[in-house]
């Protein structure tokens, strides 16, 4: 009956020909295409064109009758070819309502498994070092760790302090029909708004988070059921110069792990055993004519396992991007990973990967008729609803 009533109201409204307020329409496009050459102990492999991580986002936003704003975002992404996710993965399907200091989000979206944005060609290039890993995943794709069905509330204090409480339903292939919350946690971040980056403050971001995965493994009760991850991050502008910018980013993830998981024979063990992952990047950005022109970065990561002192992982990732037109870059990235012999069941001992890429990213808002929370006018000259 309720369903029919809803349909009736919708039909009735359209019959009245009530003109609708045209929403803001946001279009985000990121095309990442690379030619890859990989070398590891198994030999040499290559991919002529890897377009994974390419995506398109479509957002609709408008003011509500009070001081709040409502938004619907729909996004799709091309996952890795062997990801078991099909040709297209719908990485964003959510609704968000917000005012100056509050944000409520519900739907499929990015999860709080990373606290920073690192300068890598694709977001998941250093996944095992800079993401808190989904313990319900079998490790066949990276999206399981990056996206989930989320419900999240964020409160913003003094324009820069973001406190979030969140719950997620992460993909769980063993229970595909289960949509209950299987994770929850909170995050607290200090973030300098993008529009104020030329205030040239050294500290740009600082924060930590606590993620709690509710394990469904047999034999665990009470607090022991929770796979607990603690994340911490910082971004420093070492040379906060508008022409020659150098910044440093760091993130550490301490996985407290589940009791009793003291070997790494499978991916399931890998994400459950206590570990410490660190990842840091140093980036140089040259901006000509007030636009980025050249970016060089180098990143290193290290992962150790508390109960397995001989098991270690390392990563070196370095890239260069050159802007050949507005929003259009060509780039080269080299990645080297090394894994100790105890991890041989999961990872190759070492691997080199060379990638030559084009990246095209567009972000446009059409019919823009209200301001962002983080605009200079709203931040520095009083907020207008």
Smallest distance, other proteins to C-beta of residue 65, A: 12
Q: Give 10 or 384: the residue with its C-beta nearer to other proteins.
A: 384
Shortest Cβ 347–other proteins spacing (Å): 44
Nearer to other proteins, 51 or 198 (CB): 198
> Least distance in Å: CB of 371 to other proteins?
5
Task: State in angstroms the smallest separation of the CB of 205 from other proteins.
Answer: 19
- Smallest distance, Å, CB 111 to other proteins? 30
Closer to other proteins by CB, 177 or 290: give it. 290
CA distances from 231 to 50, 100, 129, 207, 211 (A): 31, 27, 11, 8, 8
Q: Closest CB to other proteins among 81 and 324?
A: 324
Nearer to other proteins, 5 or 21 (CB): 21
Q: How many Å apart are CA 238 and CA 203, to the nearest integer? A: 9
Q: Which residues of 325-360 are buried (b: 16+ CB within 10 A; e: fewer)?
A: eebebebebebebbbbebbeebbeeebebebebbbe
Question: Closest separation between CB of residue 198 and other proteins, Å?
Answer: 4
Contact residues for 223 (Cβ-Cβ < 8 A; gap 6+): none
The full DSSP string for 80-135 is -TTSSS-S-EEEEEEEEEE-SSEEEEEEEEE-TT--S----SSTTTTHHHHS---T
For residues 381 and 374, the answer to whether their CB atoms sit within 8 Å is: no
Contact between 328 and 313 under an 8 Å Cβ cutoff? The reply is: no
How far is Cα of residue 329 from the mean position of the Cα atoms in its chain? 21
DSSP-derived letter for residue 2 is H
Of 5 and 16, nearer to other proteins (C-beta) is 16
Q: Measured from the CB atom, is 287 or 352 closer to other proteins?
A: 287
Question: N- to C-terminal Cα distance for the chain?
Answer: 38
| Spatial distance between the Cα atoms of 141 and 148, rounded to a whole number of angstroms | 13
Cβ burial, residue 17 (10 Å; 0-12/13-18/19+): exposed
CB nearer other proteins, residue 16 or residue 48 = 16
Cβ distance 128 to 313 under 8 Å?
Answer: yes
E-state strands within the chain: 24-40, 43-50, 55-63, 69-77, 89-98, 102-110, 147-157, 161-169, 183-191, 203-214, 226-240, 244-255, 275-288, 291-305, 308-325, 328-339, 350-366
Minimum distance from CB of 169 to other proteins (Å)?
Answer: 37
Q: Which is nearer to other proteins, 37 or 377 (CB)?
A: 377
Nearest distance from C-beta of residue 325 to other proteins, angstroms = 6
Report CA dihedral (184, 185, 190, 196) to the nearest 10 degrees: 0
Cα 95 from Cα 109, distance rounded (Å): 10
Closest approach of other proteins to the CB of residue 182, in Å: 41
Q: Note the residues at the interface with other proteins (CB under 8 A).
A: 195-196, 198-200, 242-243, 288-291, 325-326, 368-369, 371, 375-377, 380-382, 384
**Could you tell me the smallest distance in angstroms from the CB atom of residue 326 to other proteins?**
6
The one-character DSSP state at 194 is: G
Residue nearer to other proteins on the CB measure, 221 or 326: 326
């Amino acid at each position: 009956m309720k369903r029919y009533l809803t349909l009736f109201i919708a039909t009735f409204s359209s019959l009245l020909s009530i003109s609708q307020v045209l929403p803001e329409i946001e279009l985000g496009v990121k095309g990442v295409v690379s030619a890859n050459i990989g070398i590891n102990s198994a030999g040499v492999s290559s991919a002529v064109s890897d377009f994974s991580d390419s995506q398109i986002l479509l957002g609709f936003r408008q003011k509500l009758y009070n001081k709040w704003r409502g938004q619907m975002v729909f996004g799709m992404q091309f996952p890795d070819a062997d990801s078991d996710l099909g040709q297209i993965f719908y990485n964003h399907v959510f609704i968000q309502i917000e005012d100056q200091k509050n944000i409520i989000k519900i739907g499929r979206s990015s999860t709080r498994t990373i606290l920073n944005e690192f300068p890598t060609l694709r977001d998941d290039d250093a996944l095992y070092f800079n993401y808190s890993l989904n313990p319900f995943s079998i490790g066949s794709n990276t999206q399981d760790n990056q996206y989930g069905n989320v419900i999240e509330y964020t409160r913003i204090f003094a324009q820069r302090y973001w406190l979030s409480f969140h719950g997620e339903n992460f993909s769980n292939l063993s229970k595909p029909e289960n949509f209950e919350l299987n994770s929850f946690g909170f995050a607290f971040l200090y973030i300098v708004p993008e529009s104020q980056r030329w205030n040239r403050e050294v500290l740009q971001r600082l924060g930590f988070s606590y993620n709690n995965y509710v394990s469904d493994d047999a034999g665990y009760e009470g607090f022991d059921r929770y796979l607990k991850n603690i994340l911490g991050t910082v971004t420093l502008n070492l040379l906060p110069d508008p022409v020659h910018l150098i910044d440093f980013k760091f993130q550490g993830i301490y996985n407290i792990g589940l009791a009793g998981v003291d070997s790494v024979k499978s991916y399931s063990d890998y994400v459950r055993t206590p570990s410490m992952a660190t990842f840091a990047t140093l980036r140089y950005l040259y901006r000509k004519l007030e636009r980025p022109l050249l970016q060089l970065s180098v990143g290193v990561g290290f992962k150790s396992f508390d109960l397995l002192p001989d098991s270690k992982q390392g990563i070196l990732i370095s890239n260069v991007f050159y802007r050949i037109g507005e929003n259009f870059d060509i780039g080269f990235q080299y990645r080297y990973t090394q894994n100790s012999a105890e991890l041989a069941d999961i990872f190759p001992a070492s691997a080199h990967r060379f990638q030559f890429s084009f990246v095209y990213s567009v972000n446009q808002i059409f019919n823009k008729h209200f301001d962002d929370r983080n605009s200079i006018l709203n931040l520095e000259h009083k907020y207008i609803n």
